[in-house]
Amino acid sequence: MIDGATFKVEKGGDRLDAALLRRFPSSTRALCREACAAGDVLVNGRPAIKGLKLRGGETVLVKSLAEAGDNCVRPDPSVSVDCIFSDDSLLAFNKPAGLPVQPLTRHETGTLANGVAARWPETVRLGDRPLMAGAVHRIDADTSGLVLFARTAAAFDALRAQFSAQTVRKTYLALVEGAVAVGGTLENDLVHDQSVPYCRMVDVRRARVADPGTPLHAVTQFKPISRTMCGNEERTLLEVTIFTGVTHQIRAQLSLAGMHIVNDRLYGAFAVEGMMGHALHALAANFVHPVSSVPVEIRTPYPEWAKVN
């Protein structure tokens, strides 16, 4: 952390955030912008915006500026974690619906990664994303279930390589509205729907998207395993296996196929009063252990909404 540093701008032409990064290369552009937004950078005694064009000769006071090494997950022991597997290289957790996997900024607490960092501090510096704290993958905040963390750099690299190669078999449970008689395989090319102010995935061939970018191919298998009634509404419990790791893959593909996950209002389901999250649960993962190279399966318990007859 850089505190109370002062320097003189020798020549003009730079934006303030660029000048800060040049002066303090141990920081990052994002952290320089964050410091400006927080009022922690004064130019000639006054708070200045990140894009201020410097003329030369100004005096810059940096009251506080984080360095790249400071951009990490803060331990938060108040977050309860349900550890279902632990050895010297690997941790597995059963995450409840409503709990984010990771913070979005270094100041945020109250996520699974914050809770893990408080109990396994060796995870904090692991991985290629500083706010993941060793998590090798993510699931949506409103999705419950399995999340894997590494405890060593070697384990992180080995596990991430398996996820990148799409050799990790991930199994989910999804409770959907209506009756589903047979299973099948879904394939879609998904892109972000930029017409909404939050993340939602759509099929590039079915939706008009002004600037879709590169579509992401998603492959999902599903099969019905039980049915239940909720009032006058029939519901079907599906076992879902994914072979790719596209954002919102299961939620988007099931919705596109007319199978709306219960309480997933973003993708067209009816709201369920009092229900936390939506009825999607990361049940299990099959992969190769990062140290022993032995095939491993880690499973979580069924959530309450999946315990149907």
In a domain, 244, yes or no: yes
pLDDT higher than threshold 90 for residue 205: no
Report residue 193 as tokens. Answer: 């729907």
Query: Domain holding 42: CATH number?
Result: 3.10.290.10
Higher pLDDT, 204 or 99: 99
Average pLDDT, integer, range 215-222: 93
> What is the model's pLDDT at position 106?
86
Q: Which of 123, 143, 165 is the last residue of a domain?
A: 165
Catalytic residue among 17, 76, 140, 203: 140
Determine the 3-state secondary structure of 287 from DSSP: strand
Beta-bridge partner residues of 174: 238, 280
Average pLDDT, integer, range 233-256: 93
pLDDT digits (tens, 9 = 90+) for 35-52: 999 999 999 999 999 999
pLDDT digits (tens, 9 = 90+) for 154-203: 999 999 999 999 999 999 999 999 999 999 999 999 988 877 767 888 88
Q: Which of 16, 43, 70 is the last residue of a domain?
A: 70
Average pLDDT, integer, range 92-98: 97
Q: Do 148 and 114 fall within a single domain? A: yes
Residue 265's identity, in one-letter code, is: R
User: With pLDDT > 70 as the criterion, what percentage of the chain qualifies?
Assistant: 97
User: With pLDDT > 90 as the criterion, what percentage of the chain qualifies?
Assistant: 73
Q: Nearest 10 degrees: CA dihedral of 110, 112, 114, 117?
A: 160
Q: Do 6 and 56 fall within a single domain? A: yes
In a domain, 114, yes or no: yes
Query: Domain holding 154: CATH number?
Result: 3.30.2350.10
Q: Do 210 and 132 fall within a single domain? A: no
pLDDT higher than threshold 70 for residue 211: no
Q: Which of 37, 54, 70 is the last residue of a domain?
A: 70
Q: Do 218 and 255 fall within a single domain? A: yes
Q: Do 24 and 118 fall within a single domain? A: no
Q: Predicted confidence band at 308 (pLDDT cuts at 50, 70, 90)?
A: low
pLDDT higher than threshold 90 for residue 68: no
Report residue 111 as tokens. Answer: 């996520």
> What is the model's pLDDT at position 197?
67
Report the predicted TM-score, pTM, of the whole model to 2 decimal places.
Answer: 0.84
In a domain, 304, yes or no: no
Higher pLDDT, 218 or 196: 218
pLDDT digits (tens, 9 = 90+) for 72-87: 899 999 999 999 999 9
pLDDT higher than threshold 60 for residue 309: no
Verify whether residue 140 is a known catalytic residue: yes
Q: Do 56 and 79 fall within a single domain? A: no
Contacting residues for 130 by C-beta, under 8 A, at least 6 apart: 68, 71, 72, 73, 106
Q: Do 180 and 262 fall within a single domain? A: yes
Q: Do 257 and 187 fall within a single domain? A: yes
Average pLDDT, integer, range 8-26: 91
Residue 224 belongs to domain spanning: 172-282
